[in-house]
Amino acid sequence: MVAPIVGVLALQGAFAAHAAILERLGVSTTEIRKDDQLDLVDSLVMPGGESTTMSMLLERSGMLEPLSARIAEGLPVFGTCAGMILLSSEVMDGRPDQRVLGAIDITTRRNGYGRQTESFESDLEITGLDAPFHGVFIRAPIVERLGESVSVLASVDDDAVLCRQANVTVASFHPELADDDRLHSMWLKEIS
């Protein structure tokens, strides 16, 4: 049996940190920069970064439509921060030309918690983990609307910060910065 390969979208953002965690967990990874590389992977991580820049790079590289199609076909995907924004069905406070994939039925607000100076950290109770997970929120998005079929796995106050719908998992924080592999490990178990 061939071991599954996890792609890490490597257009911009913290893709190397995600790849390092996945490799520590014994998973083969490959960086995804072109649409034909999507056919080489069994799942995908979409990292944090700058969502409008990532949107433009996806469009310019010709990856937006093939990526949307693969996710619609069931490709498991884990989006963090900017990845969450890109996977949303709607984004608020984005550029008028910003495109989203519509892969999870949520509306996100870019920089919902504020600018860089309002970045924060919080210990999160995550469904499926036996101890708190340290969440790092950097210019993080807020979920403004949840669709009926979206499960909330963690919240800060009353704001959903970790959600799942079918094959799509999103986090408004940066799990790759927590020095804790449990969230990536949980995602891998859910998709295998």
User: Is the separation of the CB atoms in 33 and 19 below 8 Å?
Assistant: no
Among 18, 81, 163, 184, which one carries the catalytic annotation?
A: 81
| 186, two tokens | 């949980």
Can 174 be counted among the known catalytic residues?
A: yes
Question: What is the 3-state secondary structure of the chain?
Answer: CCCCEEEEECCCCCHHHHHHHHHHCCCEEEEECCHHHHHHCCEEEECCCCHHHHHHHHHHCCCHHHHHHHHHCCCCEEEECHHHHHHEEEEECCCCCCCCCCCEEEEEECCCCCCHHHCEEEEECCCCCCCCEEEEECCCCEEEEECCCCEEEEEECCEEEEEEECCEEEECCCHHHCCCCHHHHHHHHHHC
Among 18, 163, 174, 184, which one carries the catalytic annotation?
A: 174
Q: Catalytic residue positions? A: 81, 174, 176
